[in-house]
Amino acid sequence: MRPDRRERRLVAALFVSGFATFSQLFDAQAILPSLARDLEITSATAALAISATTTGIALSVLAWAWLSDRIGLTVVMRISLIATTVSALAAPLAPTFELLIAMRGITGIALGGIQAVAMALLVEVLPRHRVPTAAAVYITGNTVGGVTVRLIAGPVSELLHWRIGLLMVAALGVVACVLFLALLPRGLEERISRPASFRSALGHVGHHLSRWTTASIYVQGFLIMGSFTAVYNYLGFHLTREPFSVPAALASLFFLVYFVGALSARVAGELASRVPPWFVVMCGGASVAVSALPMLSASVEILLVGITLLTVGTFMAHPMSSTLSGLEAGRGRVQSTALYQLSWLTGAAVRGWFGGVLYDRYGWAGVVGLSTTLVIAAGGIAASRAWATRMGLSGQGSRA
């Protein structure tokens, strides 16, 4: 059966929400060199502009998940995106770096609602066999949002000012918010809202954390996205210094690789309908691992190959892991998808910052070394879960 109009509108709305989420989450990545230069701070300190947002999301996702049980998933998403739009417009106006970081944190807290419930909404509403493909569309929205704002914020920050770059991205967020509110179908709340007590929600959290079936998914997200964020946070610094000396505005063009990531996410979604999702995750991890050597090259062309392999692998593994967090939950799907978001965002915040410490001390090799270490651990988990799936030792969560 082909998706009906209501389902297509839902998937389109989630694509827009993914665009808004990543545009407001990673817009600062493209302005880090300009921010560090303007405020005379280290690369690790500048990266706090990203870590503050990811930390804000991580701190809020479980609270948003509980609230969604009380008032409905789509209601939470509407509130979250409106609050994100307002805070993102205010953040570039902060007069000091400390206030900028605080406002970025508030933006992250607002974004937590989208991150907490979007995947759970797909799992609850769509037929199981269509969830991976729809999830890939959502992740594609993340990708398009991420690359679009980097291509805007990076050059604008160099030509005008980093504050202007952030404001232009926030204006795009306004458009995305309006489109989301117009596209999201009405009437879904009655079908998916399940009033629950705070104690019940905590019970679901404990249940998921105590099962390796779901806990391994959360660890996977922590490792893979920590690796990815560490590399992309400091790629701009690496490209603008020796031996490349690429102008910062042109360095932003490297983020076009995200479009290849968007394609790989769609391919991964289709592939997961034919083979067990953990095999897709394992293939994605292998691609990231292979990327390490070319990323160390002094040739910009070979470096681009490495960045492409990293991006393709991440956007194969991440959407599938996110989907599995809902499909394998069995019960308390909102809490499970929120825990996955908490895990990958914590990885992005912690490893993204720590990558700067390594970069300031050991250079680009330190960042690549961190990325490789994380992905080897992730690959071990994915391989063990793929083997367990093949041997029939890991069951899928039911839709009950």
For the chain, domains (ranges, CATH) are 5-183+201-390 (1.20.1250.20)
* Token pair 């499909």 in the structure block, residue: 327
Q: How confident is the model at residue 65 (pLDDT cuts 50, 70, 90)?
A: confident
Nearest CA among 145, 189, 121 for reference residue 18? 145
Between 2 and 235, the higher pLDDT residue? 235
Above 90 in pLDDT, residue 139? Answer: no
Measured CA to CA in angstroms, residue 18 lies from 108, 113, 173, 213, 230 at distances of: 14, 12, 11, 26, 21
pLDDT (mean) for 117-133: 78
Look at residue 395 in the predicted model and tell me its pLDDT.
46
The alpha carbon dihedral of 250, 265, 352, 290 has a sign of negative
Percent of the chain with pLDDT over 70: 94
Q: pLDDT tens-digit profile of 283-298?
A: 888 999 899 999 999 9
Above 50 in pLDDT, residue 243? Answer: yes
Q: pLDDT tens-digit profile of 182-240?
A: 998 876 655 554 555 677 778 888 999 998 889 999 999 899 888 888 888 888 889 98
Above 50 in pLDDT, residue 396? Answer: no
Look at residue 158 in the predicted model and tell me its pLDDT.
82
Between 166 and 193, the higher pLDDT residue? 166
Look at residue 81 in the predicted model and tell me its pLDDT.
93
Give the separation between CA 67 and CA 65, rounded to whole angstroms.
5
Look at residue 3 in the predicted model and tell me its pLDDT.
58
Percent of the chain with pLDDT over 90: 26
Nearest CA among 262, 45, 30, 241 for reference residue 140? 262
Phi, then psi, of 304 in degrees rounded to 5? -60, -40
